[in-house]
Amino acid sequence: MDLLQAMKERHSVRSYDEKSIEAGTVEKLRSFIKECNKESGLHMQLVLDEPHAFEGFMAHYGKFSGVRNYIALISRKGNDLEEKLCLVIAIGYGQTQGVSHNSKPREKVMNAEAAPQDWFLRGIDATLLAPTAMNQQKFTFTCKGNLVSAKAGLGFYSKTDLGIVKYHFELGAGRENFRWV
């Protein structure tokens, strides 16, 4: 499966079984996380069998249950080299297959000075598949010729969301078709 297909098949799981992740899968995850850490400068960590993983307010707000495994995305806090937890990705075996996400119409997240080209529309379609905090999709993409800008709206994690949707845009539009401004 390529990344575009994975984006289309992504779905939200909120309730997990307590089943442990198999050893072979754990090793694949650790290997992948190691590569991601090399490329990104983040300090991602795989946390397994932690029963108190999602007991805070945000877990209840997101209606998570049974989460025992997750990937913690940790970055440097500042020049003092402290670290901070940025995001947590719940992983494991869902009690159900989860639900696909609802998306806004293209017109709510894009501006184009002329009829948008196909590559721009493919990029916008990809952004609408991206995970965003609380499924808000608070972002706008603007296209002038082959120049594209992206702006975060107001809301929780909107700047983090913007990074995620920009990556999705690049995958959908093709990096060779435009330039960020």
The verdict on 119 and 144 lying in the same domain is yes
Nearest to 92 by CA among 73, 61, 70: 70
Residue range 157-181: average pLDDT?
95
The verdict on 130 and 78 lying in the same domain is no
The verdict on 117 and 147 lying in the same domain is yes
Q: Give the domain extent around 63.
A: 10-91
Q: Is residue 2 part of a domain?
A: no
Chain-centroid distance, C-alpha 142: 21
Better pLDDT: 156 or 24: 24
Give the confidence band of 58 by pLDDT, cuts at 50, 70, 90.
low
> What is the tens place of the pLDDT at every residue in 4-39?
888 888 878 888 998 999 999 999 999 999 999 999
3-state secondary structure of 125: helix
Burial class (CB within 10 angstroms; exposed 0-12, middle 13-18, buried 19+) of 84? exposed
Judged against a pLDDT cut of 90, whether residue 2 lies above it is answered with no
Give the pLDDT of residue 136.
84
Cut 0.85: pTM above it: no
